[in-house]
Chain A
Amino acid sequence: MAETLTKPHDEEPLIEGNQTYASLTETVAGVVQRQKDHPKAWFVAFVLGFGLVNVLLLSITYLVYMGIGIWGNNQPVAWSFDIINFVWWIGIGHAGTLISAILLLMRQEWRTSINRFAEAMTIFAVMCAGMYPLLHTGRPWVAYWLLPYPNILAMWPQPRSPLVWDVFAVSTYMTVSILFWYTGLVPDLATLRERVKNRFAKVLAGMGSLGWRGSAKHWMRYEQAYIILAGLSTPLVLSVHTIVSFDFAVSILPGWQATIFPPYFVAGAVYAGFAMVLTFMIPMRRWYRIEHLVTMNHIDWMAKIMLTTGLIVFYGYIVEVFYAWYSANPYEQFMMWNRWHGPYAPAYWLLILCNGVIPQLLWSKKNRRNLKLVFAVSLVVSLGMWLERFIIIPVSLHRDFLPSSWGMYYPTIWDFGMFFGTIGFFVMMMFLFVRFIPMISIFEVRELWSRIRPQRAEVKEVEA
């Protein structure tokens, strides 16, 4: 039945070359097995990431010691980098779930080569995101009050607050992502269990694999659970960024109070997420010689999705302008005027350039298959999505209802310390991941191969 559904690729196969189950297994598991020959690039990237992680730790320490005052936040701009980065990271996470869940439900077989990688990205991105809501509070040591638990104060969280929704959404998202990822990992750990020579690694893999032995009965329940997990993750991933967008949509602030936010945030999230996947995948596939698994097809498809979501986001921008004009609400109209002509106008126009204009290059197939260009575009989009949150948060806050309370926002070195710190953390985790965990779901590749490989007869000839 899978075959009857549309195959995304028409001309080229999703797995190139003349493969066997063994060879496929070898390619992926080999990366983990042969710890010796990792590319130089790995070390460079890891060291870079690790360095930035130290910056992060420094920033956090100083932050907790001194208080939020070390950031540029003020009245009226009480939120800025902290929440920008939170939303940005959460967004990046979304690509992973989308690829692994939604594409699975849609029987998009090309997801197979990238879902493991994208899911890992999700988890690390959500980790980065999770730091901010915690650390941006004035008194992080009592942030646990956001959790509902019976206590001697007889106090509870206040469930009308989008921040409490965030707590539930993000923690649920984190948990489900990890479950999903781990479940997918178990059979591959079983493979590693059998293949790795190093005893310690073997035992580790053995424990991780939970004694998976590939029983047909297990596989059946496994697939039932896996597909339903996907079915759960799909609305979940949509809900998470919807709820994040509620942080703003629920308020009364011009530039925040917009009904378009949920869809437009979700699209933006996927947009940013795919950009990040490409940013990592393009070099990875070269460094780890997996071009035959992550083919130009994959790049092409991801670029297409990026373009699509990009257009939705751009539509969002246009609708915001329309609302401002159509509402005939002076505050809304001024908000838009301020974005265009106010002190932060350059950021707005740069945003339009990054998210609206440049991605249009991806209309042409030639460009979509030009790795350098796609890579560049993916970086531009990441920047653009960050700018979008900058426009939404500080730029809406700095001039609201009463002109007397208008102000300006200037980030401090510590704002950037936190931001680049989390980027470093993300990079470090990703590179640790590719080194110690199969970055492609081996059993799914086998399964895919078993269906799309040339007919058995031909194979026989080849063998003869």
Chain B
Amino acid sequence: MARLFSPVANTIARASLVAAVAVPVGAIVMGSVVSRSPANTNVGVAFDQPVPFSHAHHSIELGIDCRYCHTSVTKSSSAGIPSTETCMSCHSQIWTDSPLLEPVRQSWAEGKPIRFASTGEVGWNRVAKVPEFVYFNHSIHIARGIQCNECHGNIQEQHMTAKGKPFFMKWCLDCHRKPEKALYVDEQQPDLTPQEKVFAFYRKIQEGAKLSARELALKKGREYQPTAAELEKGREMVQKMDIKVKTLADCYICHR
């Protein structure tokens, strides 16, 4: 009889079996990789801004306190974006003719919010944004002594501001389940309140003071694995501040 398939068909058959399994699995893996990559999260991707504002320059080189511009960071959910007035309080004195600052001066002159010189579109491009349907409150985190860098990465080193962390739910929960990981006392100035500690951190960097391993990691925006001792200390702080850890992972803490 005329056979239907030639021997090579066997190989093809087996190959297609393998493919049938490999392809979907591969696709899924790819998907999850992409969804966690900067292509999706924008981590480390700097957007352009009306003015190429440099946190590095202002916070460390000039030593301006975060709260000078982000006025409500200790009071309210939103950290607050500086008004043109705030910018002008210095830049009416210095770099009064810098073309890069033209948008600021224009805003001040017209009494209209800052806009892109190029496109004329209004406002700053938002860099750090929690996902939709999440209610984040800056003030309570600061009050607990959570460093800005925990979420904003090496912000004080950035010339072009970029997102520091992916802001995944998983990532938030990681801290909300084990706050002791992020709570610490600055050994060099232990009597600072947690809130003062947050901002004193940048003074230390500016003065080039010696930084602990944890502080170094924070400075660079790297992950840090606290030592057992540190965790123990952290738990004590949780106790002291009466943080009800079990409630921190409740939906209603972040979603309403």
Contacts and interface: CB of A to CB of B under 8 A. Distances in A.
Interface in B1-52: 4-5, 10, 13, 32, 35-36
B4 A154 contact: no
Contacts of B171: 152
B169 A152 contact: yes
A193 interface: yes
B4 A152 contact: no
B168 A206 contact: no
A5 interface: no
A154 B251 CA distance: 12
Interface in A150-176: 150-155
A155 B4 contact: no
Contact of B35 (A152, A202, A207): A152
Nearest to B40: A152
Contacts of B209: none
A169 B169 CA distance: 30
Contacts of B5: 206, 211
B173 interface: yes
Given A193-B4, A202-B4, A206-B4, A152 B36 contact: yes
A461 B236 CA distance: 100
Contact of A203 (B4, B35, B168): B4
A193 B3 CA distance: 11
B170 interface: yes
Contacts of A202: 4
Interface of A is mostly: loop
A278 to B, nearest CB: 37
A153 B166 CA distance: 12
A210 B4 CA distance: 12
Nearest to B168: A152
Contacts of A155: 169
Contacts of A206: 4-5
A329 B36 CA distance: 54
Nearest to B167: A152
Contacts of B168: 152-153
Interface residues of B, number: 13
B115 to A, nearest CB: 35
Contacts of A203: 4
A154 B5 CA distance: 50
A182 to B, nearest CB: 14
Interface in A198-221: 202-203, 206-207, 210-211
Nearest to A149: B28
Contacts of A152: 35-36, 166, 168-171
A238 B166 CA distance: 46
Nearest to A150: B32
Nearest to B170: A154
Contacts of B169: 152-155
Contacts of B170: 151-154
Interface in B136-191: 166, 168-171, 173
A203 B6 CA distance: 12
Q: Which of A150, A152, A155, A206 neighbours the largest number of chain B CB atoms within 10 Å of its CB? A: A152
A202 B168 CA distance: 53
Contacts of A151: 170
B198 to A, nearest CB: 27
Contacts of A193: 4
Interface string A126-160: 00000000000000000000000011111100000
Contacts of B36: 152
A154 B35 contact: no
A202 B2 CA distance: 12
B240 to A, nearest CB: 28
Given A153-B170, A206-B5, A207-B13, 9 more contacts: A150-B32, A152-B166, A153-B169, A154-B173, A155-B169, A193-B4, A203-B4, A211-B5, A211-B13
Ranked 10 nearest A-B pairs via Cβ: A154-B170, A152-B168, A153-B169, A206-B4, A154-B173, A152-B170, A154-B169, A206-B5, A193-B4, A202-B4
25 contacts: A150-B32, A151-B170, A152-B36, A152-B166, A152-B168, A152-B169, A152-B170, A152-B171, A153-B168, A153-B169, A153-B170, A154-B169, A154-B170, A154-B173, A155-B169, A193-B4, A202-B4, A203-B4, A206-B4, A206-B5, A207-B13, A210-B13, A211-B5, A211-B10, A211-B13
